[in-house]
């Protein structure tokens, strides 16, 4: 086996509690890199068509890449790949911490979990040794407590756990890594819960093999130097993602009151500067990362004094803060901690709560269905009670909403789909496309539904003088190119926030493996991965005209801020989507053409 990969895939059938080891296919690795790409390939090849995401047949894949666990900065990232219960489509959800590094050092490129255990269990993986443990004492426990209890029993093993929301199959439940990082989006926690697996713990003692270790480590040092010299890294280090609250609020596209407005009058009270003044104690980092963007925080005043957490991140400040009219960082931190402990994604939950409050105010939810909870904008305590109800599916409304906004709007009817903020069933993050049009194309075409990480063009739209953020011009090409580049990058797999050039990525991949890729062939891998996932989604039921956005973005305008009175033009949006298809080499229905698939070596996949 080439360096960079361990060469081994661990398959675990939790129904029979049997394990099976297979070889990682080097030809696949050359074409699909690892992590995201390798997971997509395995999912496409081995998951039966139309598998119910919460059935025993679904696969829960923990994947690493050829750079995972090595000396390059941010190499502690890992990926969960599965069929999403939120969207019924492809899902990958990335996580930080050190779990993935230990998984690789235990000898595994991929851990592939399928089946359904008769009783709750957790799985211990110590190098080659796999042990199944009864989890009856852990079932029902919140995430941090589960993590602590497992470490008390097993020592410093790395943990991936679910909370009560995952156990109760909430469609946007997350997997929590080492107590405070998250594979958050798209409901991987529900997939794990459906298998009756409460936790996976791992430790590894092996060395990651490298083809040319001296060249690899020398270049890792060069990359470290470049990261230290990067202009944006000090801000990332000082503030983390909350840095973006102020510019996005000032420029008028932060979600406010379920995306009814783009600017929140108390936005400055949720800014990074306020966080640093009020709640941040210190910074922290994932495995091998000098950027150290985590904010380790604790609440120092008010009714929730003493609660500590890592966060809140920008997305939480937006979706659980401005979007719900929560006015202080302490209150957002409290709600964030509740979501973390119950095991739910704060982006999706923030959209669900915003939708619920609006639907309730419009008379679509009856008071009796809320179990005496009086949800309202800015009411932190009642919102916290409702978060708990959703995690446990308590009450008719909470049970419906635990399926996500798409399903809930189908149940509530009466035009509520127009303000159910999602793309393909995945709720939309914290950049309203009425103030950053390119994000509209990014959300609509993202491979996992409403996601900002596949092509985060908001920063360029704000600061590049060549771009007009209120226009779709140039955005289709830009989104396509970033999607391909990110697909490759997330397959290596490194952190979104690491400023590492394509050239350096390719060199490191080659030093690790002995491959002879170029930047062009690396980017082509990204394009290949993107197209394979598109074929998977079409196979699983993605229809024509699915690359769309909620109606609100086309009809409702803001009453204030720099994006005041603006709506998206549907005609221009649709033209931009067609332009995107054309640039991708897809037909007018968004299906990859034979010609395009042939250039990517994917022609046999269409049949
Ligand atoms: S930049 Fe932040 S999220 Fe990324 S690896 Fe470093 S500490 Fe983790």
Same domain for 239 and 365, yes or no, is yes
Q: What is the pLDDT of residues 52-107, one digit of tens each?
A: 999 999 999 999 999 999 999 999 999 999 999 999 999 999 999 999 999 999 99
Q: Which domain-ending residue is among 418, 452, 469?
A: 418
Q: Is 352 in the pocket of ligand 1 (CB under 6 A)?
A: no
Mean pLDDT of 456-479: 97
Distance CA 557, CA 566 (A): 5
Tell me how many domains the chain contains: 3
Q: What is the pLDDT of residues 395-441, one digit of tens each?
A: 999 999 999 999 999 999 999 999 999 999 999 999 999 999 999 99
Same domain for 125 and 54, yes or no, is yes
Q: Note the pLDDT of residue 17.
A: 98
Residues in a beta bridge with 9:
22, 110
**606 has a pLDDT exceeding 80:** no
What is the residue with the minimal CA distance to atom 5 of ligand 1? Answer: 74
Test site for ligand 1: of 234, 292, 296, 315, most ligand atoms within 8 A of the Cβ: 292
Same domain for 159 and 247, yes or no, is no
Same domain for 457 and 481, yes or no, is yes
CA of 259 relative to ligand 1 center, distance in Å = 29
In a domain, 50, yes or no: yes
pLDDT mean across residues, the chain:
97
Mean pLDDT of 591-595: 96
In a domain, 246, yes or no: yes
Q: Which of 98, 58, 53, 57 is nearest to 78 (CA)?
A: 98
Q: Is 139 in the pocket of ligand 1 (CB under 6 A)?
A: no
In a domain, 226, yes or no: no
Atom of ligand 1 minimally distant from the CA of 97: 8
**39 has a pLDDT exceeding 90:** yes
Test site for ligand 1: of 67, 294, 312, most ligand atoms within 8 A of the Cβ: 294
Same domain for 332 and 379, yes or no, is yes
Same domain for 96 and 145, yes or no, is yes
Residues in a beta bridge with 62:
80, 111
Same domain for 411 and 440, yes or no, is no
Residue-range definition of the domain harbouring residue 555: 433-498+518-605
CA of 77 relative to ligand 1 center, distance in Å = 9
Model confidence band, residue 36 (pLDDT cutoffs 50, 70, 90)? very high
In a domain, 224, yes or no: no
Same domain for 61 and 111, yes or no, is yes
Q: Note the pLDDT of residue 1.
A: 59
- How much of the chain exceeds pLDDT 70, in percent? 100
Same domain for 405 and 437, yes or no, is no
**286 has a pLDDT exceeding 80:** yes
**444 has a pLDDT exceeding 80:** yes
In a domain, 215, yes or no: no
Same domain for 458 and 365, yes or no, is no
Q: Note the pLDDT of residue 2.
A: 74
Same domain for 391 and 317, yes or no, is yes
Q: Which domain-ending residue is among 418, 453, 488?
A: 418
Model confidence band, residue 345 (pLDDT cutoffs 50, 70, 90)? very high
Element containing residue 201 per DSSP (H, E): strand 197-203
- Domain at 134, CATH number: 3.60.9.10
| Cβ-proximal residues to 393 (8 Å cutoff; 6+ apart), any chain | 168, 170, 399, 402
In a domain, 210, yes or no: no
**607 has a pLDDT exceeding 90:** no
Q: Which of 323, 320, 324 is nearest to 311 (CA)?
A: 320
Q: 405 to each of 170, 216, 223, 400, 409, how far by Cα in Å?
A: 12, 46, 42, 9, 6
Mean pLDDT of 369-383: 96
- Domain at 584, CATH number: 1.10.599.10
Cβ–Cβ under 8 Å, residues 150 and 177: no
Cβ–Cβ under 8 Å, residues 491 and 63: no
In a domain, 225, yes or no: no
Q: What is the pLDDT of residues 83-97, one digit of tens each?
A: 999 999 999 999 999
Q: Which domain-ending residue is among 371, 387, 418?
A: 418
ipTM for the assembly: 0.99
Same domain for 408 and 437, yes or no, is no
In a domain, 403, yes or no: yes
| Cβ-proximal residues to 119 (8 Å cutoff; 6+ apart), any chain | 134, 135, 136, 196
Model confidence band, residue 605 (pLDDT cutoffs 50, 70, 90)? confident
CA-CA-CA-CA torsion sign (386, 388, 390, 395): negative
- How much of the chain exceeds pLDDT 90, in percent? 97
Test site for ligand 1: of 282, 285, 313, 496, most ligand atoms within 8 A of the Cβ: 285
């Amino acid at each position: 086996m080439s360096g960079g990969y361990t060469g081994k895939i661990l398959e675990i059938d939790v129904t029979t509690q049997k394990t099976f080891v297979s070889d990682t296919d080097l030809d696949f690795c050359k074409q699909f890199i690892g992590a995201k790409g390798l997971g997509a390939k395995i999912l496409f090849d081995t998951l039966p068509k139309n598998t119910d995401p919460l059935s025993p047949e679904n696969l829960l894949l923990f994947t690493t890449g050829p750079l995972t666990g090595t000396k390059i900065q941010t190499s502690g990232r890992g990926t969960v790949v599965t069929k999403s219960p939120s969207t019924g489509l492809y899902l990958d959800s990335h996580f930080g911490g050190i779990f993935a590094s230990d998984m690789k050092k235990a000898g595994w490129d991929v851990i592939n979990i399928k089946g359904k255990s008769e009783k709750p269990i957790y799985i211990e993986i110590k190098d080659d040794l796999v042990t199944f443990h009864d989890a009856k004492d852990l079932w029902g426990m919140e995430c941090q407590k589960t993590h602590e209890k497992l470490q008390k029993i097993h020592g410093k093993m790395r943990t991936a756990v679910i909370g009560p929301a995952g156990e109760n199959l909430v469609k946007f439940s997350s997997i929590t890594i080492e107590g405070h990082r998250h594979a958050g989006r798209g409901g991987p926690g529900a997939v794990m819960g459906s298998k009756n697996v409460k936790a996976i713990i791992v430790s590894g003692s092996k060395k990651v093999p490298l083809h040319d270790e001296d060249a690899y480590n020398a270049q890792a040092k060069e990359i470290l130097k470049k990261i230290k010299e990067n202009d944006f890294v000090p801000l990332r280090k000082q503030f983390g993602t909350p840095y973006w609250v102020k510019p996005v609020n000032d420029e008028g596209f932060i979600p406010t009151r379920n995306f009814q407005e783009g600017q929140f009058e108390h936005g400055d009270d949720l800014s990074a500067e306020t966080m640093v003044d009020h709640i941040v104690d210190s910074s922290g980092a994932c495995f091998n990362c000098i950027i150290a963007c985590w904010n380790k925080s604790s609440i120092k005043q008010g009714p929730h004094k003493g609660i500590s957490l890592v966060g809140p991140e920008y997305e939480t400040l937006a979706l659980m803060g401005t979007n719900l009219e929560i006015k202080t960082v302490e209150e957002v931190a409290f709600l964030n901690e509740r979501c973390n402990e119950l095991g739910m994604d704060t982006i999706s939950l923030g959209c669900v709560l915003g939708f619920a409050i609006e639907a309730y105010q419009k008379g679509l939810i009856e008071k009796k269905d809320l179990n005496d909870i009086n949800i309202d904008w800015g009411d932190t305590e009642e919102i916290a009670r409702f978060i708990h109800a959703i995690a446990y599916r308590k009450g008719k409304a909470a049970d419906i909403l635990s399926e996500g906004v798409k399903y809930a709007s189908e149940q509530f009817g009466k035009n509520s789909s127009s303000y159910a903020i999602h793309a393909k069933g995945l709720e939309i993050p914290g950049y309203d496309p009425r103030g950053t049009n390119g994000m509209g194309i990014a959300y609509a075409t993202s491979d996992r539904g409403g996601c900002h990480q596949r092509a985060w063009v908001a920063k360029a739209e704000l600061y590049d003088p060549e771009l007009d953020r209120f226009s779709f011009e140039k955005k289709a090409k830009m989104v396509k190119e970033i999607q391909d580049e990110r697909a490759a990058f997330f397959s290596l797999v490194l952190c979104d926030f690491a400023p590492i050039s394509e050239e350096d990525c390719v060199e490191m991949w080659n030093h690790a493996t002995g491959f002879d890729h170029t930047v062009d062939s690396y980017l082509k891998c990204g394009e290949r991965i993107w197209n394979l996932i598109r074929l998977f989604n079409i196979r699983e039921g993605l229809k024509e005209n699915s690359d769309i956005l909620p109606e609100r973005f086309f009809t409702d305008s803001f009453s204030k801020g720099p994006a005041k009175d603006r709506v998206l033009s549907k005609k221009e949006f649709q033209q931009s989507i067609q332009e995107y298809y054309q640039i991708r080499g897809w037909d007018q229905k968004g299906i990859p053409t034979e010609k395009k698939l042939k250039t990517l070596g994917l022609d046999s996949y269409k049949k």
